[in-house]
Amino acid sequence: MLQVFIAYSEDLERIAFMPPSLKEAWTGRIKLFYREYVPQLGEVLPLERVEPSTISEEELLRAHDKEYIDFVKRKSIEGMGLLDYGDTPAYPGVFENALETISATLTLAQKLLVKGGVGFNPNGGFHHARRRSAGGFCVFNDLAVAALWLREKGLERIAIVDIDAHHGDGTQQILYSSDILKISIHGYGYGFYPGTGWIDELGEGVGYCRNINIPLPLGSGDDAFIIALREVVESLLSSYDPQFLIIQGGADGHRGDPLTYLNFTENSYIRFASLISRLASRGVPVLVTGGGGYVPSTVARIWALMIAGIAGSGAERFLTGDEETESGRVLLGIVEDRLSWLKNKIDECGL
């Protein structure tokens, strides 16, 4: 089993970049995870709580333009209005809060680079933040900041795998022409946020074929998610052979989430964790971020299950015995067509 590092601070329990109606769900799952699940994980795994050290705001320049950083600072002083077209509110101190959440992810990246193992920042995974704009409750993109920091430390093969129900549009945009491997499995359908993440958005320049989107029709169940892992994600990760893995582990694809229309259960997440665990057990550091998910009791449990599964001990204690959900013949046929298109493309690219 592997050493687990959990980013832990009182601030991480209360910071949320969403409208008041969702704030409680966001912070509630982090509080629940810290109180109920960290002690349980500590019984089955060597676990260390890591207090994030605040990073310099210069680190943000790896992924964001100075004008945008200054805009967030200004709005943070004004303390009102919005940081984007309508999702992400400004409030007094939003800049400092955003810097703290990014600091937690980067602190873990620094830790894992030296010590290896599995890291988890429950208040991370801000995949909708773009180079010059906020979006979808995300201010700065910790995934991109951490990946670019690791690149600067000399790592050549870094992979980001995003299983949040929503497409990681910000990560894609910031790293579109970078050869860092980005894989996103997400819901895709009429009116579903953010509307990007189609199969043909493959990256550009040296980043071509390093941006792999697996859009699943709304209503997809465990079978669709698992077939995507088996047919594309597993072989892609094995041929890319990452030296460091960053995961956006949003659990809003779980059935019953109020913001999405996917139908996953614990079966999807445990299968994902066991795939990642095979890399982790070979010594690849794995940094997991919390991402979305708006039913605190479900999300906190799924996070614990994923961490234990990836670190290689005790995941079964977080399973409840859910039946694997099925997508139905029509939806599954759509998924198979998309996967076969992607597999051909990946073959053509020689990945």
> Which residues are marked as active site?
128
How many Å apart are CA 261 and CA 223, to the nearest integer? 15
Cα 194–chain centre separation: 15
Strand partners, 161: 183, 247
| Residue entry with tokens 């893995």 | 245
How many Å apart are CA 190 and CA 201, to the nearest integer? 18
Q: Which residues does 279 contact at the CB level (< 8 Å), separation at least 6?
A: 237, 242, 245, 286
The letter for the amino acid at 75 is K
**C-alpha distances out from residue 317 to 49, 108, 176, 245, 262, Å:** 21, 26, 39, 25, 24
Output the residue with the shortest Cβ distance to Zn ion: 292
Six-digit token string for 188:
């895709």
Q: How far is the CB of 78 from Zn ion (least distance, A)?
A: 28
Q: How far is the CB of 92 from Zn ion (least distance, A)?
A: 26
Nearer to Zn ion, 41 or 165 (CB): 165
How many Å apart are CA 127 and CA 76, to the nearest integer? 21
Nearer to Zn ion, 76 or 101 (CB): 101
Six-digit token string for 210:
């390093």
Q: How far is the CB of 241 from Zn ion (least distance, A)?
A: 28
Q: How far is the CB of 187 from Zn ion (least distance, A)?
A: 9
Nearer to Zn ion, 117 or 221 (CB): 221
Binding site for Zn ion (CB under 5 A): 164-166, 250, 252, 292
Nearer to Zn ion, 258 or 350 (CB): 258
Q: How far is the CB of 292 from Zn ion (least distance, A)?
A: 3
Strand partners, 160: 182, 246
Number of C-beta neighbours around residue 198 at 10 A? 12
Three-class SS state of 179? coil
Nearer to Zn ion, 89 or 292 (CB): 292
